[in-house]
Amino acid sequence: MFYRQSGVRHNSYSSDRDLFPIPADRYALWFFLALGIAAPWLIDGLYLNSYMLPWLLWTAAALGLNLLTGWAGQMHLGYAAVMAVGAYSTVHAVRFGIPWEFALLIGGLSSSVIGSLFAVAALRVKGLYLAITTLAMQFVMDWVLNHSPAISGGSHASLQSPTFALLGQDITSDAGLYYVALGWCVLVTIFLLNMRRTGLGRALVAVREKDFAAAILGVNSFYYKIIAFATSSFIAGVTGAILVATFYFLASPEQFSVNVSIQVLAMVIVGGLASIIGSYFGAALILLMPGIVNGLFAGFADMVGLQFGPETLAHIPNAAYGALIVIFLMVEPMGLGKIYGNIRDYLLVWPFDQMKK
């Protein structure tokens, strides 16, 4: 009914591979993109830059990790460390006098190099062992950041980020910074959408599902794992750099500590492995839910006239938020992306359910 498939015909193999063959999907996409572009006029500047902007950037980060964990099936617990590499090299490059465009590229590439270097060592092991190896990488990076003032910016271990600028224009306005985040998130999304329909995506899934079958088809699984690590690290590095440039305004080690790695992994898993829209949902849930649950709970307490101590007020929302994640994963282990997919599949035939195959 809502996602009408009638009239969708393909005359060529390339149209059969269109990203969104069903018109309703395309309309929804344009609608949300328009909303995203109009957001600075619709949303108050404070909300725009403290909720929308980080949401988009963490979505880009989650998509990068999803490429590695969801598509290529490689566990990574040191993702924040890779983001740190990109952030620090970019900020240092800009302070050295390199324009932001190239500095971001340098940040992405250095993340890519370091991420794949670790991968070469890590890929001799699989599964849980790989998880622990990447976790070790996180701790090594934490230690390096905390113990090398040359990188982390002296005794306070914080590094001021110069004013963000693109094409010679300083970007300082709320809307400008937000558009940078939106642009990057859209670029990463487009890349992943394309990856789903090319040989690269197929090869990554092959490596994830059955490496012996991949090998017999000529897929060099080691090579593709490295490609996955390098690409996901590049996305991580640039995202980390933009995050520092547009949101934190200064880089410090605790922004990229181990719990950040776990949080990004949680976004990917709650959103759904190998699901693009899921990463948007996952990032939103992990990032925005604590605040929303907090507000709801405080409102509820006010309404029924209960008095809670500040400790209870701080802890109950946390517990509720944790429970929410558990409930979502119990209802649908494939994540929020799959829940969306189920609803969409239902509406595909609604109200003619009997015609479901």
Partner 1 sequence: MNETIPKTANSQAVGDEPPVLECIGVERRFGGLVAVTGVDIEIRKGEIFGLVGPNGSGKTTLTNAITGFYPPSKGRIRLDGRDITGTAPHKVAGLGVARTFQNLALFNGMSVLDNILLGRHIHMNPGVVRTALYWWLARPEEVANREIVEEVIEFLQLESIRHELVDGIPIGLKKRVELARALVAEPHLLILDEPMAGMNQEEKEYMARFILDARAERGVSVLLIEHHMDVILGICDRMLALNYGEMIASGIPSEVVKDPGVIKAYIGDGHAG
Binding residues for partner 1, rule: CB under 8 A, are 12-14, 17, 190-191, 194-195, 197-203, 205-206, 209-210, 212-221, 227, 230-231, 274
What does each C-alpha distance from 45 to 40, 163, 289 come to in angstroms? 7, 19, 20
Closest approach, Cβ 266 to partner 1, in A, equals: 22
**Residue pair 158/102 in contact by the 8 Å Cβ criterion:** no
Is the CB of 165 or the CB of 219 nearer to partner 1? Answer: 219
Which helix (H) or strand (E) is 28 found in, with range?
helix 23-42
Is the CB of 176 or the CB of 341 nearer to partner 1? Answer: 341
Closest approach, Cβ 208 to partner 1, in A, equals: 8
Round to whole Å and give the CA distance between 209 and 188.
24
Round to whole Å and give the CA distance between 151 and 160.
12
Q: Write the CB contacts of 147 (distance below 8 Å, at least 6 apart in sequence).
A: none
- CB count within 10 Å of CB 11 equals 7
Is the CB of 138 or the CB of 231 nearer to partner 1? Answer: 231
In 3D space, the residue among 201, 73, 63, 62 whose CA is nearest the CA of residue 127 turns out to be 73
Closest approach, Cβ 60 to partner 1, in A, equals: 14
Closest approach, Cβ 345 to partner 1, in A, equals: 13
Is the CB of 103 or the CB of 206 nearer to partner 1? Answer: 206
Closest approach, Cβ 84 to partner 1, in A, equals: 22
- CB count within 10 Å of CB 102 equals 12
**Residue pair 157/146 in contact by the 8 Å Cβ criterion:** yes
- Strands 250-251, 169-170: parallel, antiparallel or unpaired by DSSP? unpaired
Closest approach, Cβ 21 to partner 1, in A, equals: 11
Closest approach, Cβ 16 to partner 1, in A, equals: 8
Is the CB of 73 or the CB of 240 nearer to partner 1? Answer: 73
Is the CB of 81 or the CB of 205 nearer to partner 1? Answer: 205
Residues forming a β-bridge with 337: none
Structure token digits, residue 346? 């239902």
Lookup result for tokens 């992990």 = 286
Question: In 3-state terms, what secondary structure has residue 159?
Answer: strand
Is the CB of 43 or the CB of 334 nearer to partner 1? Answer: 334
